[in-house]
Amino acid sequence: MRNESCTFKSLDLNADRTELHDLLKLTGCEVSINNMAQNTQVPFFHYHKENEEVYIVLEGSGFVYADGETIKVEKGSVFRMSPSAKRCIKANENGIRFLCIQCKENSLTQFTYGDGAIDKTIEWKI
């Protein structure tokens, strides 16, 4: 790209974990793509001090531990964890691929239509 307003990179979607913070120079959130092999789990339970997390299951299935409850998740499942929720993820026999988006809780002040602006002066040049 010829300017600094956009950052484009390629990544290996099959890597165990790819964090996009450094790769894309993100300033408002962290995004990671995660691939867990069959019958594996994140090796620790954790929570956050300030950041909520949104998970989107892209492939496979497994279980999420959240504050003492175990919930089955599968392709298409989406869920949010508050910062204080103690959590962990475990893959089923077919593994699991998920996207995790992390940002400071209560920091979103505008979104979609409130933040976007339409510019009708631009046309595609392909």
For the stretch 5-22, pLDDT in tens is 888 889 899 999 999 998
Confidence bin at 113 (pLDDT 50/70/90) = confident
How far is the C-alpha of 63 from the C-alpha of 79, rounded, in Å?
12
Q: 5 vs 1, 2, 34, 74, CA distance in Å? A: 9, 9, 27, 36
Q: Which numeric CATH code is attached to 17-31+41-104?
A: 2.60.120.10
For the stretch 31-81, pLDDT in tens is 999 999 999 999 999 999 999 999 999 999 999 999 999 999 999 999 999
What pTM was computed for the model? 0.87
Rounded to 5 degrees, φ, ψ at 21 are -55, -55
Say if residues 86 and 45 touch (Cβ distance below 8 Å): yes
